[in-house]
Amino acid sequence: MKHNTGFIGCDGAVATTVGVVLVIAIATTMIAAIYAVGVPMLADARHNVNIQNAQHYFGILQSDISDLKGPLSGVGPSRRTTINLGGGSIAIMPGAASYVQVNYGMDVFSGALGVGNIEYTLEDDTIIYENGAVISRFAFGNPAVTSRPSNIFIAPADGDNTVVHLRIIKLGGTSSSTGGSGTAYVNSRFTGFDVHNPTPPDETVLHNAVTITITSEYYQAWERFFEGELTGAGLTKQTGPSSTGFYISTNGNVVTINIYGKATGDDIFLSVHETIIESSVS
């Protein structure tokens, strides 16, 4: 019998098999790399877009609430702000542990007035509306004011005088929240003006010292904001209590801003008012 030896020493079948295995291995490696690197990058990009959108919507919310200034002619009594949640959640918290107290001389405006806040949260990042300001706090780093409040300004006046204007925005009503990938609506309505102190300080009277005490989870943002405002008004930052300039100190989540003015004596025009806004989310 004659044996067929035609396949002896032929490597074609082996080479084909090895090639298929290599192609599968390369494809598997590429798919794994995409899942390991590409998918997280896409998720991060989507997260960043949603946070940027939230900052934009909170800027609109800030403007809408700023329009509700109380008994002024031509000002609408309510506003409705649309916010795309993008997978996050929004909560209105009138009872949040955030307070503002203003002392001038021996007098106090309303004691520690609770202002509350509105928070949008997406994973570890938070966008906050608090007393007229939009504050951003990301997973890494301290909170910062990303849209300055129009209800607070400090500016130089004639001579050595300094103007300090505070319109405290207090959120009233009850807590409410919602979340998901859809759209939320924040409804805000003006309900009161100078309710807790019907006789605010007269801005035509000069004071020699003003102290603003803010209690807030985001006190670091308020510390930097007031430092920038006071420096911009021409006041010098001091390292301790003084007779001129300003001095800022912190204790826990409390920041105390002491304003003394440009010169020794009475040179601060102070204006303090309160606006109460009731907000709810649906």
- Per DSSP, the three-state class of 148 is coil
Phi and psi for 192 in degrees, rounded to 5?
A: -165, 155
- pLDDT grade for 98, boundaries at 50, 70 and 90: very high
Q: Where are the domains of the chain?
A: 42-281
- Does residue 56 come out as left (phi exceeding 0), alpha (psi in the -120 to 50 range) or beta? alpha
How many Cβ atoms from other residues are within 10 Å of residue 175's Cβ? 14
pLDDT at 63: 95
Q: What is the chain's Cα-based Rg?
A: 29
Task: Yes or no: say if 139 and 126 are a contact pair by the CB < 8 Å rule.
Answer: no
User: Which tops the pLDDT comparison, 44 or 229?
Assistant: 229
- pLDDT grade for 39, boundaries at 50, 70 and 90: low
- pLDDT averaged over every residue in the chain: 87
Average pLDDT for 167-179: 93
Residues 6 or more apart from 121 whose CB is under 8 A from it?
A: 88, 89, 90, 91
Return the structure tokens found at 62.
Answer: 């800030």
DSSP 8-state assignment for residue 150: T
Q: What is the pTM of this model?
A: 0.84
Is residue 228's pLDDT more than 80? yes
pLDDT at 27: 63
pLDDT at 92: 97
pLDDT at 140: 83
Nearest to 136 by CA among 149, 158, 121, 151: 121
Measured CA to CA, the distance from residue 228 to residue 149 in angstroms comes to 13
- pLDDT grade for 61, boundaries at 50, 70 and 90: very high
